[in-house]
Structure 1
Amino acid sequence: MVFEEKMIMNGEPDDVSHLFGYQEEEEEEEEEEDMVDPLETMRQKCEEAEHCVHTREQLEQCETRVGSRSATQEDCTEELFDFLHARDHCVAHKLFHSVK
């Protein structure tokens, strides 16, 4: 063990495992597939549904209206909540059928 410590201290290669009888296990690099969140997939599909498209349009109209004014107290919270409610209502009916 003193020999190995001298090799490490003297700048010799760091791999001294062969001196101890250890064999390095070669790790196989496996390319992992990107996991797709089923919730995100369902949300995207539901945003294309008729009711969600309608509430999305209302939200965008509100954002345009509020953005065009310099001094307004109006915000689009109600429209945002309407859109999120419509989307999540659609997702709730579809998501658990795809979960294993």
Structure 2
Amino acid sequence: MLQLNPPLPMNTPKGEGFAHFLIDYGPESDLYWTVFVTETGEIWTFANREVRASKNITLGRTSPSVPRPAPPSRRQAGEAREPGVVPFAVADGQM
């Protein structure tokens, strides 16, 4: 875990905020950014693919892409399936 000093401005699915921490679980995992959302004060951790650097005219980043909402969790995806469809990974007969 790395505390960012200064915090980095970010665009997230929850709105603009400042990343205060960066978490790296290793080469087979995404980087995770802990962001304090400006509008609501909420603190969320987002995977690297869910966030974008904020606009910075000085650096030539005038229109960064908007991050896409996170895909539904495995549990939410399983609830939306058709009856009789078995998920590919079931542990101990539970979902």
Larger RCO (CA under 8 A, 6+ residues apart)? 1
Q: What TM-score, normalized to structure 1?
A: 0.21
More helix by share: 1
More strand by share: 2
Q: What TM-score, normalized to structure 2?
A: 0.21
